[in-house]
Amino acid sequence: MERIDQGRTMDRSRPTRRHVLRTGGLLLGALGAPALLSACGTTAAADRAGNVLRVSQPGDPKTLDPQKQGDMVSMNVLINMFDTLTTRGRDNRLHPRLALSWKATDARTWRFTLRPGVTFHNGETCDARAVAFSIERLLDPATKSPIVELRFVKGVTVVDRLTVDIHTTVHDPILPAKLSLFGGVVVPPRHLAEAGDAEFAEHPVGTGPFTHVSWQRDHELRMRAYDGHWNGRPAVDGLVFSPAPNASSSLAALQSGGVDLVAGLTPDAAQQLEGYGGVSLDGHTGIRTAYLSLNTLERGPLQDRRVRQALNHAIDVPLLIKAVLGGKATETPALVPRGAFGFDPSVKPFTRSVDTARRLLAEAGHPHGFSTAITASNVDANVAEALAGLLAKAGVDARVDLLDPGTYSARLTSDNRGALGPVYLAASTVWTMDGASIVQSNVRSDRRQSRWHSAEADRLIDLEELSEDPAARARALSDLQRLMREEAPFVFLYQIDNIFARNDRPRWTPGSAGVLAMESAQVSR
């Protein structure tokens, strides 16, 4: 057995995190100390001796069928075995992948010209027929795909062997970006017909830089480099993903050498690792955006705009970032994050003033505040407790209800808009790098997670979703942010950095979305 804090050098002159939280007015529960954890076994030792990269992330894939999942944990694994039509580069621009080029031939048709000579891992040809099959399979109700990005797509036409037309019911200006992850995966038609869905989900066959080797659910998923990849063989011979729902176990494995790279770290977990020998922390500006969703549809204080504005004034986001997130986040003024298309720098965050919050509450008929509840995943317990502490200063008694991640996710994606209570803490990864991605489900009144009905907001979303003019889209998103800033249907919080812990072996740089596409990674032996 090995303690995670062996060899740690502490700087006793620095104020402790608890001191910062107390002096900042944020009363949190006791910090969990890293547990005693065992090192990894002989398999890990063998990998360390070879050209194998071992990666840990918070969870396991839900399935290895890329069209039957819709979460980033699963996609982080699958993007290494499957290619997409387009890709988001580390420069955050859209680049060719299986599609060499694309253009809108009319308002409701996008034409994609495909890369020649691409084969699936079983030797099957990846061509226009495979692309058409993949999109039609995703859209088929029988597939029961949770992927929603292609909701405007109505069909695909094979123009020739390397050309496909994707037809939409309305103009979709960001369809190429939507095809850079979930909706853009291409699967092998012949192999699927022969193997069936169940076998395919256990032993996937894609065109990606790595091939499937084995999967022991809740333990590890192993891949090997694909020699025949169209972009050349990856630099590492093997890739291993392991789940670590408890961040401390992942960090212990990192110190013992069982894992080379830990992804999906919360700032709190990263702070626990600060100062350990042989471990480096890398922070990269991220696009994952956190907010409080306010249920304005049910009778109560949150129906009053003044109350919602008061909550935004009461929560000191810069203090929250400094005291709880270790400075590893950036304040967002109106839901759309910096770096995404449509972000308007002229829209400023709320001023942080308890006095202003109390005045607005009094004007709304709540001079002594009111009681509510904040629901959050237990992964975000510290942030949720800190938010409750800040609201208490303005007289708002916000009980914190914590759920396990599975229960939280199920309620979040259910059709019951009140399943997570009056206020819930959420975050969205804007992986398309377009403001439409975060407002599409959260704002327009007919969408699943919308808890605010505004005819003007619906009009602006229609403009930005359907316009063929980028300038018109930018104006609509700007106007939408100003409207949200005024109506405050959310408490706007921050976009969090992508935080990785690593030993001295891996060399790899992520993009803003933090997707674990490891094709470019290298390791020193």
pLDDT value, residue 38: 31
Structure tokens at 206: 């894609």
pLDDT tens readout for residues 383-411: 999 999 999 999 999 999 999 988 998 89
**Residue pair 500/260 in contact by the 8 Å Cβ criterion:** no
**Model pTM?**
0.80
pLDDT value, residue 247: 63
Domain with CATH 3.10.105.10 in the chain: 288-496
pLDDT tens readout for residues 331-342: 999 999 999 999
Domain with CATH 3.90.76.10 in the chain: 82-192
**Residue pair 337/287 in contact by the 8 Å Cβ criterion:** yes
Fold of 82-192: Dipeptide-binding Protein; domain 1 (3.90.76)
pLDDT tens readout for residues 427-451: 988 889 999 989 888 899 988 789 9
Q: Which residue from 177, 445, 451 is spatially nearest to 295, judged by alpha carbons?
A: 451
d(CA 233, CA 227): 5
- With both helix axes pointing from N to C terminus, report the angle between 470-487 and 305-314 in degrees, rounded to the nearest 10: 90
pLDDT value, residue 232: 96
Q: Does domain 288-496 have CATH number 3.10.105.10?
A: yes
- Helix (H, G, I), strand (E, B), or coil: what is residue 352? coil
Quote the percentage of the chain above a pLDDT of 70: 90
Calculate the alpha carbon distances from 432 to 36, 57, 264, 321, 440 in Å: 40, 21, 19, 25, 12
Q: Are strands 52-57 and 163-168 parallel, antiparallel or unpaired?
A: unpaired
CATH class of this structure's domain 37-80+208-279+503-525: alpha beta
Per-residue pLDDT of the chain (525 residues; tens, 9 = 90+): 222 222 333 333 333 333 333 334 443 332 232 222 233 333 444 444 479 999 999 889 999 999 999 888 999 999 999 999 999 988 888 999 999 999 999 999 999 999 999 999 999 999 999 999 999 999 999 999 999 889 899 999 999 999 999 999 998 999 999 999 999 999 999 999 999 999 999 999 999 999 999 999 989 999 999 999 999 999 999 999 998 876 677 677 777 888 999 998 888 778 777 777 778 888 888 899 999 999 999 999 999 999 999 999 999 999 999 999 989 999 999 999 999 999 999 999 999 999 999 999 999 999 999 999 999 998 899 999 999 999 999 999 999 999 998 899 889 888 898 999 999 999 988 889 999 989 888 899 988 789 999 999 999 999 998 888 899 999 999 999 999 999 999 999 999 999 999 988 999 988 888 899 999 999 987
The sign of the torsion formed by the CA atoms of 448, 383, 454, 482 equals negative
**Residue pair 56/250 in contact by the 8 Å Cβ criterion:** yes
Calculate the alpha carbon distances from 271 to 187, 250, 472 in Å: 41, 14, 43
